[in-house]
Amino acid sequence: MKYDSILEKRIMLLKKGLGVLDFINKWIIRRAVVAIITENKISF
């Protein structure tokens, strides 16, 4: 029982961590896309 609960907690933490990483990656991609679009608007 104890082992299962520890495993569940670790899985939950892992999922939370992956969720945060996914959010950061999406934010970085969005910022990069915005930067590329604005640079293109300035250069053209």
For residue 40, the model assigns a pLDDT of 81
List, for residues 1-44, the tens digit of each pLDDT value.
577 888 999 999 999 999 999 999 999 999 999 999 888 886 65
For residue 31, the model assigns a pLDDT of 94
For the chain, the domain total comes to 1
Domain presence at residue 5: no
Domain presence at residue 29: yes
Distance CA 38, CA 35 (A): 5
Three-class secondary structure assignment of 1-44: CHHHHHHHHHHHHHHHHHHHHHHHHHHHHHHHHHHHHHHHHHHC
Domain presence at residue 42: yes
Domain presence at residue 7: no
Domain presence at residue 35: yes
Domain presence at residue 1: no
Domain presence at residue 12: no
For residue 23, the model assigns a pLDDT of 94
Parent domain of 24: 20-44
For residue 1, the model assigns a pLDDT of 59
